[in-house]
C-alpha cells in the first residue's frame, strides 16, 4: 500500500512540479495569443468574403470582439490544470478555484454576447439584451462573492501537516487528482475533436459555452463525492462533513447551470456560490468562534 501511495506521489510531483507549471503557463499564453490573432484573421477574411466558414456557431465569426472567446477558452484549460493542483490541499481551496473558473466562463460568454446586442430604441425589449444585462450584474455579484469566500477561507483553522492521518488523506486526494488529470485530458481532446468534426459537417452545437466544462463539472462532482467518502476514514467531525457536503451541492448547482437557459443560468451559479459561502461562514463560526467574534 505504501508503494502504491508513493507511486502516485511521484506522478503528482512530476505532473504539477513548479517547472512544469511554468512551461504549461508559457505555452498556454503563446497559444492564447496565437488563437486570438488566428480567430481575428478568420473574422476579417469572412467579413471580406475571402473565405467561407460553416454556419456552426456563427456568433463567433461576426464581430472582432468575439475573437476574445478563443484566448479565454485556452486560459480556462490552464485554470482547470491549477484546480487539479489545488485539489489535494483542501476542499475549500478547490471550491474557490471552481468559482474562479465559472466566473471566467461567464465573462467569456459575455464577450461572445456583446456583439449580438440589439441597439434599437426599444433595446430593453430584447430578451438577448436583458440576458446580457443580467449576466453583467451577475458577474459583479459573483466577483464580490468570490472575494468574500476567499476572505472567509483565510479564517479557517490551520491543521499541522505532520499529522500522519492528514498526510495519508492528502496522499489519497493526490491519487484522485492524478486520475482526474488523465481522464480530463482525454475528455478535452474528445470535446475538441467533436467540435471540429461538427464544425466541418456544420452540425449545430446549441451550447458551445458548456463544451467540455459540462462534462468537467460532472466529473468533478463524482471526484468530490469520492473524496468525501475517503474523508470518512480520517475524520468524524460533523461540521467538516456538512461543510464538504455543502460544497458538493454548490458544485452540482453550478453543473446544472450549463443545462439551463436564459436567466436561470446565472441564478443557479449565484445560488451555488452563495450557498457555499454561507456554509463556510457557519463552519467558521463553529470551528473558530473567537476569530469570527473579533473579525
DSSP codes, 140-172: HHHHHHHHHHHHHHTTSPPPPTT-HHHHHHHHH
The CA radius of gyration of the chain, in Å to the nearest whole number, is 21
Summarize the confidence of residues 146-163 as an average pLDDT.
Answer: 81
Mean pLDDT computed over every residue of the chain = 85
54 has pLDDT over 70: no
Max mean pLDDT range (66-75, 138-147, 196-205, 229-238): 138-147
* pLDDT score for 237: 79
The helix-helix angle for 238-257 and 91-113 (nearest 10°) equals: 20
Tell which wins on pLDDT, 157 or 187: 187
pTM score of the predicted model: 0.86
Is the per-residue pLDDT at 74 higher than 50? yes
Contact status, residue 107 vs residue 135, Cβ threshold 8 Å? no
Please state, in angstroms and rounded to a whole number, the distance separating the CA atoms of residues 184 and 214.
12
Distance CA 254, CA 271 (A): 8
Please give the Cα distance from 111 to 113 (Å, whole number). 6
Q: What is the DSSP string of 214-279?
A: HHHHHHHHHHHHHHHHHHTTT---HHHHHHHHHHHHHHHHHHHHTT--THHHHHHHHHHHHHHHHH
Average pLDDT rounded to a whole number, residues 75-97 = 90
Give pLDDT tens digits for 224-275: 899 888 888 777 778 888 999 999 999 999 999 988 888 899 999 999 999 9
pLDDT in tens, 278-287: 999 999 998 7
Q: How far apart are CA 295 and CA 17, in angstroms?
A: 36
pLDDT digits (tens, 9 = 90+) for 24-38: 999 999 999 999 999
pLDDT of residue 105: 92
Residue 202: its pLDDT value, please? Answer: 63
pLDDT at 291: 53
Amino acid at each position: 500500500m505504501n508503494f502504491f501511495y508513493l507511486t502516485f506521489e511521484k506522478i503528482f510531483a512530476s505532473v504539477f512540479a513548479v517547472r512544469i507549471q511554468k512551461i504549461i503557463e508559457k505555452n498556454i499564453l503563446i497559444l492564447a495569443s496565437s488563437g486570438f490573432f488566428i480567430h481575428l484573421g478568420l473574422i476579417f477574411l469572412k467579413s471580406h468574403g475571402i473565405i467561407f466558414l460553416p454556419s456552426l456557431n456563427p456568433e463567433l465569426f461576426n464581430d472582432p470582439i468575439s475573437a476574445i472567446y478563443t484566448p479565454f477558452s485556452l486560459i480556462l484549460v490552464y485554470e482547470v490544470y491549477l484546480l487539479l493542483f489545488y485539489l489535494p490541499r483542501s476542499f475549500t481551496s478547490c471550491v474557490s478555484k471552481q468559482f474562479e473558473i465559472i466566473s471566467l466562463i461567464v465573462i467569456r460568454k459575455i464577450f461572445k454576447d456583446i456583439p449580438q446586442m440589439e441597439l434599437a430604441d426599444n433595446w430593453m425589449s430584447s430578451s438577448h439584451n436583458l440576458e446580457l444585462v443580467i449576466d453583467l450584474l451577475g458577474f459583479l455579484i459573483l466577483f464580490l462573492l468570490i472575494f468574500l469566500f476567499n476572505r472567509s477561507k483565510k479564517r479557517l483553522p490551520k491543521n499541522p501537516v505532520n499529522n500522519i492521518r492528514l498526510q495519508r488523506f492528502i496522499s489519497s486526494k493526490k491519487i484522485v487528482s492524478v486520475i482526474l488529470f488523465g481522464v480530463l485530458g482525454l475528455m478535452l481532446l474528445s470535446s475538441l475533436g467533436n467540435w471540429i468534426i461538427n464544425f466541418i459537417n456544420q452540425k449545430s452545437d446549441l451550447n458551445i459555452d458548456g463544451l467540455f466544462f459540462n462534462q468537467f463539472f460532472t466529473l468533478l462532482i463524482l471526484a468530490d463525492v469520492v473524496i468525501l467518502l475517503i474523508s470518512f476514514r480520517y475524520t468524524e467531525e460533523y461540521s467538516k462533513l456538512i461543510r464538504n457536503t455543502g460544497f458538493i451541492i454548490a458544485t452540482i448547482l453550478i453543473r446544472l447551470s450549463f443545462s439551463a437557459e436564459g436567466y436561470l443560468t446565472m441564478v443557479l451559479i449565484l445560488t451555488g456560490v452563495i450557498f457555499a459561502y454561507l456554509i463556510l461562514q457557519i463552519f467558521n463560526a463553529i470551528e473558530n468562534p473567537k476569530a469570527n467574534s473579533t473579525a
